[in-house]
Amino acid sequence: MSLTDTFLRTAKPAERAIRKFDGSGLYVEITPSGGKLWRLKYRFEGKEKLLALGRYPEVSLKDARERRDEARKLLANDIDPAANKKAARAAKLAQAENSFEAVARAWYAKAYADKAESTRLKTITRLEQDVFPYIGGMPVASITAGDVRGVIERIEKRSALDIAKRVFNYIGRTLRYADSLGMVERDVSASIDLALLLPNRKTKHHAALTDPAAVGGLMRAIDGFTGSYVTVRALKLAALTFVRPGELRHAEWSEFDLDGATWTVPAGKMKMKIEHIVPLSAQAVAALRELRAVTGTGSNVRYVFPSERGGSRPMSENTLNAALRRMGFTQEEMTSHGFRAMARTILDEVLGFRPDFIEHQLAHAVKDANDRAYNRTKFLPERRAMMQAWADYLDGLKA
C-alpha cells in the first residue's frame, strides 16, 4: 500500500525503527527518536544497496518519489545511484575549493596578513559586498573579462568610482594569484582598460567649514543632534581631535589614557605607519568618560565607537557623513574629513599657532631643518596647550 501525507504527518515512533514502503524500493524509516528518513532499496551488480534520499518533511513524499524515479533511470543506464551521488558531491566540493571566493580569500589571507586591521576589514568587506555575491561561486578558471566588467559596472552605477577601482585591483590580484598556482591560464582582467570603462571624475577636495560663525553653528547642531548617542560623541571627538575619520572610527579603548589625557594611535592604523600621539583636552576627556560609562563597560568591549549592528565591528565609514547630511550640511559644505581642514585653517589664521605645531598634530610628514621626518613626541607640550586652546575656542563659538 502506497504512503500518504496524512500517514507521514501523524506517524509516531516506536521502541524500534519502523519501515513503511511506498513502492519500487522506496520506503520511509521512522526512528525511535522520531526522525522520518527516506531510503531507496535497490540492487546493482547483484548486490543489495541503500540510497539515502533525505528527511521528511524537508523532502516531501512527492520529492522522494521523484528522487526514486531519477535513481531508477540511472540504474536503467547501468549507473549506481549511490556512486553517482558520491561523485557529484566530490565534484561540488572541488568546485567550491576552486571558486573565485575561495581563491580570493586565500589570496587575501596571504597579501593582507601584515596589514592594519582597518585595511583588512575594509578590503574583505568590499569583496563580500561587491564581488562574492556575483562571481564568488563561479570556478575561478571560468571567470571571463565580461564577468569582471559586470562587477565593475554594477559599482560604477552607484557612482562609487574609487571603490570600483579598488575592487578591480582586488579581482586582478586574485586572478594573478590563481595564475601563479596554475588554476587559470591568464588574468582576464588585464584585457580591460579601466580608464575607458569608468568615466573621468575631477578630483574633489574634502569640504570644510572654516568661517568661525559657521563653525559655531556646526557645534550647536552637533549638540542638538537627535541621532544616536555614539554618533553625537563621535562628531564631538572629530571636532576636538581632528584625526582622520578612519582613525576615529577604529579607535579602541586600549589606546586611551584618560587619566593622562592622551590617545596613542598605533602605527598600524596610521597613514605614515608611525605611532601618533593625540593630546586630549579636558572637554575630550569628559566626552570619552561619559561615553565609556554608557558603552565602554564589559570584558568584550573593544571599539570606542561601535557599529550599531554590533560591538564586534567599528562604526560604519558613512555614519558621520550621513549625520552631517541629516543636520542640514550638504556634501559641498562639510564632510567628516573636513574637521581636519577646519582645525588647520582656524588654528593658523585665527588663533595664530605655529604651522609646524598644527602639521605635527595632523600627523603630516613634516621635516625639520635637518631633514628629519615626523617625530611622534615633537612639540608635545606645545601641542597639548594648542589642543586645549582649540577646545576652549570651539566652546566659545558654540556659546
Q: Which of 55, 83, 81, 85 is nearest to 68 (CA)?
A: 81
Q: Is 340 a catalytic residue?
A: yes
Q: Is 122 a catalytic residue?
A: no
Which residues sit opposite 85 in a β-bridge? none
Q: Is 374 a catalytic residue?
A: yes
User: CA–CA separation, 361 vs 356, rounded Å?
Assistant: 8
| Catalytic, out of 236, 340, 360, 384 | 340
Q: Is 250 a catalytic residue?
A: no
| Catalytic, out of 36, 68, 233, 244 | 244
CB neighbour class for 329 (10 Å; exposed up to 12, middle 13-18, buried from 19): buried
- CA triple 389-390-394, angle to 5 deg: 115
| Catalytic, out of 374, 376, 378, 398 | 374
Q: Is 206 a catalytic residue?
A: no
Would you say how long the chain is, in residues?
A: 399
The answer to whether 130 touches 167, Cβ cutoff 8 Å, is yes
| Catalytic, out of 269, 276, 337, 384 | 337
User: CA–CA separation, 64 vs 21, rounded Å?
Assistant: 12
Q: End-to-end alpha-carbon separation of the chain, Å?
A: 88
User: CA–CA separation, 279 vs 395, rounded Å?
Assistant: 18
| Catalytic, out of 364, 376, 378, 398 | 364
User: CA–CA separation, 135 vs 127, rounded Å?
Assistant: 10
User: CA–CA separation, 55 vs 52, rounded Å?
Assistant: 9
| Catalytic, out of 19, 89, 271, 289 | 271
Q: Enter the C-alpha cell of residue 3.
A: 504512503
Q: Is 271 a catalytic residue?
A: yes
DSSP label at 135?
I
User: CA–CA separation, 236 vs 246, rounded Å?
Assistant: 15
Q: Would you please indicate which residues are annotated as catalytic (active-site) residues?
A: 244, 271, 337, 340, 364, 374
